Amino acid sequence: MNKQQESDVIKFWEKPRKLIAQVYDIFGKIWYDYEVIGMEHLPKGPGVIIYYHAVTSIDYSLLVAKLFKEQLRWCFSIIDHAIYQIPGLRTFCDVIGLKDFSKDECVEILKKGHFLGLAPGGGREANFSNDYNIMWGKRTGFARIALEAKVPIIPIFTENSCETFRNIGNTRLTRWLYEKTRLLYLPIYGAFPVKLRTYIGEPIPYDPNITAAELAEKTKTAIENLRDKYQKRPGSIVRALSERFDKHYKTN
């Protein structure tokens, strides 16, 4: 592989990439009866997709697979630096567009016409968020990227995403350890076959007169509105499982 040109490498991974997307899309349909509402809101050009990070981001991954399978649209995704460095995963991550991209790399991806997806809450939100509470702190990096690339932000939210997996060990001590090291990930359990439905909100258009902090707050509000409209709280695994097989719910 090292002797091949970059174009040859991209061509080499094209079929495996399509196969991964196909298999993952089928898995999502069978196990979670996965649906996407609001595909018409996606711009034809580039955009930054922002999502709430549940214990796992399996819901977002299913959306990425569906976009590639049905529309052949690339969605590069920012992941934690520690995950990208795990031995054996780096090649796989590169194939499907997962990396701890720098700001310049993110802007370049968008300027090439692709989607870029990230969860501003990251590991903190995955570990310690309770019942769909957004934990972004003062993070505005994604807003600065969108403003520099002059692209819209697409807020999304997945119903029942917190009911697919749960974690244990959310205490003051583990939170302190996470804040000190940023390497702590709490043990998880689950893979419950709950109903998953991703809602794509209306894009927040590029506005040169808005600050990064204002854009970040606007995005947070958009995701909270989707959550409040479509998610029953507190979350319930039993209810989410029943929705998976409830014909009346599926019709509505």
Active site positions, annotated: 53
Helices (H), 151-246: 172-181, 212-230, 237-245
Cβ count within 10 A of residue 25: 20
Torsion on CA atoms 143, 144, 149, 153, rounded to nearest 10 = 0
Tell me the chain's radius of gyration from C-alpha atoms.
18
First to last CA, the chain: 51
Strands 75-78 and 115-118: parallel
Instruction: Say if CB 92 and CB 133 are below 8 A apart.
Output: no
Which long-range contacts does 175-179 make (Cβ < 8 Å, 24+ apart)?
175/127, 175/128, 178/123, 178/124, 178/127, 178/128
